[in-house]
Structure 1
Amino acid sequence: MKVPESEDKVRKIASQEHNNYLAEGMTLHKATQSVPSSLLQSFSEDLKCKLSIKQKLLETQLFQVLGSPFYADNGFILYNCDSTDFLHKLSLTNINIDLTITSPPYNIGKEYETPMSVDEYVEFCSQWMSKIYEITKPDGAFWLNVGHFQVPNKGLCVPIPYLLWDKSPFYLLQEVVWQYGAGISTKYRLSPRNEKWLFYVKDSQRYTFNLDDIRDPNVKYPHQKKNGKYRCNPLGKNPSDVWEFPKITTGNKRSSRERTGHPAQFPLGIVEKVVKASSNQVEVVLDPFAGSGSTGIAAAGLGRIFLGFEIKSDYCTMAVNRFKAFQIARKNFSAQA
């Protein structure tokens, strides 16, 4: 008589022969830190002085045009406002932005957005992107994080970059794919595990790009030579246009430590990389859809001045509380060091 195998024996995911995570002892989920240690480093007295002077000057200029901010301190300036209105006001001044990093609403029914048709959404994005272009410095950059949505009768998971890439005066330098492990599971299509970052510049021939600050030291053959000289830069290789960062996740034993109550939060690690690549210390970094304040923490932690707009007051409170917690963590880190 043939004895049927138990369910455990026929499940491939429970077999070391088929599941590398079991065979190699790898952990599938890599939880993010509440704040990367690279953002907690202390500044020199000279840099502190320059940041203080720059912030006071910027606050004075902003007050004349936008009024009092929701919060302003230590490189972090946040307004509770409609970004479309305030971007228009900024475009009428001589205030210039060095770098913009943002992830706008995806028009997929989140609590902070009003549903639009595809054409309305594209026009909405075109307007605020064009305003960002007007206030960006000649050598400045704009990094846009977008995912996908449904286009009725055309497609289910249409990448938003297909619709927005040329809807502003910016020059699209390249697309960066953000790959992550966690995400929704599907049955009749492949599980989506990536979003896109569009890397725009104002001048295709002259823009800030600090390659040495973001080089990857994980080189497979670091001692390889050609004609007696090392082939690879001693600081590391140029990262590819596919970046792997853990997504902000929820759930028992897998929730990200940096997670807030915001439903669409991107990780500090990926924003840190963008800030390093496309801006310098004491420069101004803008996020017109500030959300939980990730851009602000990364910018302030790297010695930049953050300017953020957020229409929901509860998100503003969330971002400020998160920033204050970051300041405490930074102080404790310096004391321990």
Structure 2
Amino acid sequence: MPTSAQHHLLPDGQRAWVYAWECAHRPKGVVQIVHGMAEHGGRYARLAALLNAKGFAVYAQDLPGHGQTAPDTASLGHFGAGSEWGTALAAINGVRALIEREQPGVPLFLLGHSMGSFLTQHYLVEHGEGLAGAILSATSASMGPLRALGERLMRAEAKLLGADHRSALAELMTFKDFNRKFRPTRTGSDWLSRDPAEVDAYVADPYCGFRCSASLWAELLHAGKLLTAPERLVRVPNALPVLLLAGSEDPVCQNGLGSHQLASAYRMAGLEFIEIKVYPGARHELLNETCRDEVSQDLLEWLLSRIALKVVGIDDEAPRLPSVEA
């Protein structure tokens, strides 16, 4: 159970629902979680319990249009009016400010999953200074060859049917297409995990699996155009450690290839501490996969290694995870 779960007023006027799993004593580090599309921060309770037991505080917000941050269920799937991607980035920065007030001086790590990983990639360009590290789960250097076409279609759909129109077309081109690769399937969400119980929990959760708006999709796809632009990547601090985690059967990260391409782009931009691990057979939600204990332990060991280096004031290479490929 989180130690608190409540709405917070952020500096830009947004209200965000934030789950906090705090430690009884001063934590050795804090992990801020940025969840994926059509899910919510409460789903990370299992990871938070593990990290708490090892001395890490954990905060997970519900992004705009998601979970308890959405004013009602009819608002799920829509970031809001205006610059939607910028609104989500501002929410992440606002929760970071909250954490830094509540946990002053404690090393802060950002963990982004799926859409949250793409937001995190952008966040590292704009606000990477001061972070102790970043973990990108189910991420990629690109959104595939149809990204530009998809963005145009979503812009047109939003203009024709309204920015908040929930796009069945986007769902057909992405999630339903992803799921077809795992036929025969039990549900429309089998692509998320090999664990039927985890898939069923997702399907049963009223704050998961909803359709998102055409404008949200357009913003996401537009953001995909900028992921590895060299003039942007050079703004990410060179000394920022980044861990990439991928499943070899995850279509979002092109079965791990997209994560490797992102790792290469970061190295080309001068980042010094990039690690990647690809889990054979794993699908999209690594923290809800059959190998979740291994994934969580790898994540924990990476965090501990980064904290150990900070304690002794060493910026040399930390012990690296064994690289696992499909």
Normalised to the residue count of structure 2, the TM-score between the two structures is 0.31
Higher relative contact order (CA 8 A, sep 6+): 1
Normalised to the residue count of structure 1, the TM-score between the two structures is 0.30
Whichever structure has more strand as a proportion of its residues is: 1
Q: Which has the larger radius of gyration?
A: 1
